[in-house]
A and B are shown apart, each in its own frame.
Chain A
């Protein structure tokens, strides 16, 4: 007995048939028939059953198998086709979900890049067909140097976020991701990731203190820079304006802890267990309209697990530091990522 599973549109998904028999199998539309196989020159029994958008084809060249037995086997395969259909649908949906998220995030960042660029260089002024395009752009840049610098930095930030999306996708959706452990200066790596967000911190009057952030650490750069990218992206949204964001490194037996200490948007007690869950956004972030798709903290958690980092979020560690800004509460919160020595 041989089989072939295809979609109703004719795409073959799985088969154990030799290539020369596939065309006949794809063209079979009978529930049962006994025919002379034009390829092998002997009698074969074949038939199909369908389930939603999939078709299971079975054929048999065994002369001792009766029509009755063959028909019975086709009917018995219905349950199998249903199970196959379900898992095919689940896998397709998972793939669609991954691609949808990637597409959504990438189009958000590319849109921002375009808008920042066209804010500086109006589309109609730099559109094609102008022989003096370079001069036009040069004169705009010379007239608006500050705006040009801001635009470049915003483009850099979004380009880094795009790169991080690809890195995260690569690490999380590859069966055996390549984790490249190298020694890095933690100060340097943090500075590199931070540079893309610098402008946002300055705009909000947040002062970033990295005085006690030194030492060499062994980690995979791609994972760490993606983690930092998500931490800083969240920090620019949730750390209180005109406050201090302190990054320190502390040696703790088998780990080197990177601690992000901040006055940031209140995370309520019942939300603490959910903060690293996929799709979760805190109540106050929703109210403020800052919440994204709720993936940032989940990405941080998954990448940390993959690299053997330990991760901890502590909320309201010093209630005397809690503040209200525009009727929104901010607490003294702390995020710790421990890197194994």
Chain B
């Protein structure tokens, strides 16, 4: 009987890999049909889709994507980036810094501009002829960083360490996340207050994505 009067405990999401596969949105930007898209869908990453190019950096597919794979050649033409895919990749990462971006190319590495800022900004890069396994392992790694309980908390710890130089205990992060989830307020101000940070833009994005499965509009 007493349980009825107990305050309902806020439960943070604890997703299995299969649940993560369903919640994670993956986008390929490639002007040619790329079989890895089908391979990922067959492997259970059912929210994997592809577009031939982007008309706008605000279009639905890119807003909803959590992990983006972008070819370096043949895309970025519609938005008239001077260096096509490299320009597009740079713009995506500047607009959406917390989304994971992997650039890939069929060119040998020596030929493409390896010192282009897009390579610095991108989270990883692959050859177009990489094994499907290489695509899958990156998808799994980045999806877990966003949606898996332990790995997301470790990601938040690293982000706080990077931004402030201070380390925060695992349990402290969990307590803060519970508070944010309880308040249902994912604003930068609220997240900054609870984590005791001056600027919480990146953390707020990570927290909202982990708890709700969606990013800010």
**Chain A residues close to B by CB (< 8 Å):** 163, 166-167, 169-170, 173-178, 180, 182, 184, 188, 192, 221-222, 225
Contacts and interface: CB of A to CB of B under 8 A. Distances in A.
B18 interface: no
Contacts of A192: 131, 133
A222 B130 contact: yes
B10 to A, nearest CB: 32
Contacts of B165: none
The 4 A-B pairs of least Cβ separation, nearest first, read A174-B110, A174-B109, A170-B108, A221-B134
Contacts of B110: 173-175
Contact of A225 (B108, B124, B131, B138): B131
18 contacts: A163-B129, A166-B129, A167-B127, A169-B108, A170-B108, A173-B110, A174-B109, A174-B110, A176-B114, A178-B114, A180-B125, A182-B137, A182-B141, A192-B131, A221-B131, A221-B133, A222-B130, A225-B131
B140 to A, nearest CB: 10
Contacts of A178: 109, 114, 125
A184 B124 CA distance: 16
Contacts, number: 36
A167 B127 CA distance: 9
A170 B124 CA distance: 17
A174 to B, nearest CB: 5
Contacts of A225: 131
Contacts of B141: 182
A182 B125 CA distance: 12
Nearest to A193: B131
Nearest to B110: A174
Nearest to B108: A170
Contact of A184 (B108, B114, B127, B137): B137
Nearest to A225: B131
B17 to A, nearest CB: 14
Contact of B109 (A163, A177, A221): A177
Contacts of A174: 108-110
Nearest to A175: B110
A76 to B, nearest CB: 36
